[in-house]
Amino acid sequence: MKLLEGKVAIITGASRGIGKGIAEVFAKHGANVAFTYSSSVESAQALEAELNSLGVKAKGYQSNAADFNEAQTFVEAVLADFGTVDILINNAGITKDNLLMRMSEADFDQVIDVNLKSVFNMTKAIQKTFLKQRAGSIINISSVVGVSGNAGQTNYAASKAGAIGFTKSVALELGSRNIRCNAIAPGFIETEMTAKLPEDVVKGWRDGIPLKRGGTTEDVANACLFLASDLSAYVTGQVLNVCGGMLT
């Protein structure tokens, strides 16, 4: 059974990592996928080809979700190409980790712009469409760090906690129009980025997780699938921790 048959999903930052995992699972469940990428043209083209081979329509757009006008232009292009949008996944994100005493203003501002301002930009850009059709599911990718904080990540934690506050407020504002907004807070997810870390560091992280393993991008994607589909028709304003029990 394909849970997203004929739906159109926008996913920001999908050329690799969690975004790519979401795009793949959504396409397998029948969703047409419009995604953004920042610089990795080859990865984006490869993903576009992979998704199209699954029998859905998929298209990558080089667009910066942190720029208000670019977000508007991107959504207009998707509506022109796909006709409608049913699901928005705000996934674009970066880290610029450092202790507060060593963190530059630029590193703070950039993380807030990419991780939090982009959520505002994209939600604002799609809101009119969702209101008109009186339906839509918005899923914001937060982090366990946004729930519990983390030393050396004041900028990242602030951006991800902000996304949770934004999620809850949008759920209250738009619920009467049958528009749902939820957040997912992934824990330690093993991606191309974590593959570059020393094995002993990764093992230390795994040992501290109750399920004794890092999460996969598919673990996060499956949670998104639930929140994007009609299975979660009565779920809004919630934060789903996908973290192997790191937060209980």
Catalytic residues: 156
27 vs 58: CA distance, rounded Å: 8
92 vs 12: CA distance, rounded Å: 5
Instruction: Work out the angle at residue 12's Cα, subtended by the Cα atoms of residues 7 and 17, and round it to the nearest 5 degrees.
Output: 105
Closest to 186 (Cα-Cα) out of 9, 4, 27, 21:
21
Hey, which residues does 8 pair with through a beta bridge?
32
Residue indicated by tokens 């934690």:
157
Running DSSP on this structure, what letter comes out for residue 189? B
DSSP-derived pairing of the beta strands 87-90 and 58-62: unpaired
Running DSSP on this structure, what letter comes out for residue 134? T
Q: Which residues lie closer than 8 Å to 112 by C-beta, 6 or more apart?
A: 155, 158, 159, 162
192 vs 198: CA distance, rounded Å: 13
Q: How many CB atoms lie within 10 A of CB 73?
A: 14
186 vs 193: CA distance, rounded Å: 15
Q: Could you tell me the two tokens for 94?
A: 């970066």
